[in-house]
Chains A and B, each alone.
Chain A
């Protein structure tokens, strides 16, 4: 299921290799505009509504962090 997350990330930033990074933000893979897109895409695809307070760096650090965030919203991964 992390494939779906990678797919979304790839749609936003096709040129980046998300599977290879452990730190999307530190490695410069996501900027502020990408973050807005990513949250919108996660909300839409996984039918959740991620709250503003959860939109913090540690929840978007890497694939595991995003997966953990989605689990918090009871998305079965």
Chain B
């Protein structure tokens, strides 16, 4: 029985594929043998400072092979890593580090000053460069012997996610939950180690979890896509083609952008075999364009808040979908169960909608140093009064369609009552995307002034009357937006999702000024 994720590495890539390329970072590539040695060097350096286990160790590095070495070094030392965003605003970083209370921060010289400026003591800094030498400074037997002290419910990593209060929540993932998810993904999604991963997400995001452990367990190659390419879809696709990337796990935003710029027809992405996406809704009309140009690729929509370890439901896009069909989030991953509960915590009937709640080994251990928010989100299964059994309340409203697939309707918090009608703002957004000129839509509700505000991106300013007319083809009159705001670009969170809170504040501020 596997108790920690390093067993993937020791029994996987390190056992049979030591010489294969593990990571491509710019001009340099690293074999599994190198990554393993560097990581163990890093662990030895950590152990010189402290022999504790299960403590958080922060990693303050840009997305790089060095960051992977640091993460694995932390794991080999028997601790859990917390990858931080080096571009995080000072106050946010300060709050995060304060909450984390890490005794060691793994970093590199160019980034140390940012930490020093926050008042981080010099003795907590550990420079990863010292570990990245070919001379081993560790005792393999000692390291592996230490790891036997870990159990599978111990923390693996802490991933920060924005909290409504502004202090990021540190979601503590366990070895168990990660093994649970990865074993399912390997089997169900046919991940076999032949993958050349085009990695685009930041390492403080959970997509990295799948990418990393796929490499370690199966010997797949992780190609770090240079950050500057993300700005230029042409460069991104050229790089994907040049590196013969055959697997991507991206957020839909960039994929929509590639589709709308008409680039799919210009690049023969023949190597791409698996296209996974998660994190937000992929509008079907753009997904269909991807499918048209990559008819042999496997497209998978994954869904899940980080609190249930990467993802908990999935939909293999295996049938034709109309452009205005909504994409399902599909079915639960093996060994995860989803409950769809109504306002009274009862399972919904048939195709009724309710809050998606998750139970299983995949649940995170909670929020680091935050018992109150942990207690609010991880609650006793209301259907089980007999013994303690936590479920995670996602806040997402879903229903099952006639295929038995789970469909997302919107957020519990974005459900509004307007003129006495119960409305999900997601539905208005979906309708807005059906208007030809509109590329991206976000609807926020001004409760005080009863205004449904539609923010949208579009090439040219469509006449409001025309937009309303088109929307009215999809929506009952009471759901039509009452304010239209064309924006050059939706404000986004660091992880690329639309910043709804900021839009809501704009609407509120604009209406506050109008008498």
Distance of A43 from chain B, by nearest CB (Å) = 6
Nearest A residue (CB) for B264: A52
Q: Shortest beta-carbon distance, B213 to chain A, in Å?
A: 26
User: Which residues of chain B are near A11, meaning CB under 8 Å?
Assistant: 488
Known A43-B459, A44-B459, A53-B266; contact A37-B488, beta-carbon cutoff 8 A: yes
**Size band of the A side of the interface?**
20 to 34
B224-245 interface (Cβ within 8 A of A): 227-228, 230-235
Q: Is the CB of A40 within 8 A of B263?
A: no
Say yes or no for A27: interface residue by CB 8 A criterion.
no
List, in ascending order, chain B residues with CB within 8 A of A8's CB: 488
A interface secondary structure, majority? helix
With most chain B CB atoms within 10 A of its CB, the pick from A31, A32, A34 is A32
Q: Could you say which of A32, A33, A34, A55 contacts B261, with CB atoms under 8 Å apart?
A: A55
B262 and A51 within 8 A (CB): yes
Min C-beta distance of B162 to chain A, whole Å: 16
B97: shortest Cβ distance to chain A, in Å?
23
Within 8 A of A (CB), among B455-493: 457, 459-461, 488-489, 492
Which range contains the number of B residues in contact with the other chain? Answer: 20 to 34
A56 touches B235 (CB 8 A): yes
Instruction: Tell me if B489 and A33 are in contact (CB < 8 A).
Output: yes
| Interface 0/1 of B474-515, CB less than 8 Å to A | 000000000000001100100010000000000000000000
B51 contacts A by Cβ under 8 Å? no
Given contacts A12-B488, A37-B489, A51-B261, contact A44 B231 (CB under 8 A): no
Q: A40, B459: Cβ atoms under 8 Å? A: yes
Contact partner, B266, options A25, A49, A52, A57, Cβ 8 Å? A52
Question: Chain B residues with Cβ under 8 A from A40's Cβ?
Answer: 457, 459, 488-489
Task: Say which residue of B234, B489, B492 sits within 8 Å of A55 (CB atoms).
Answer: B234
Most buried by A among B235, B257, B492: B257
| Complex: chain B residue closest to A50, CB-CB | B261
**Are A33 and B461 closer than 8 Å at their CB atoms?**
no
B residues neighboring A (CB under 8 Å): 227-228, 230-235, 257-258, 261-263, 266, 457, 459-461, 488-489, 492, 496
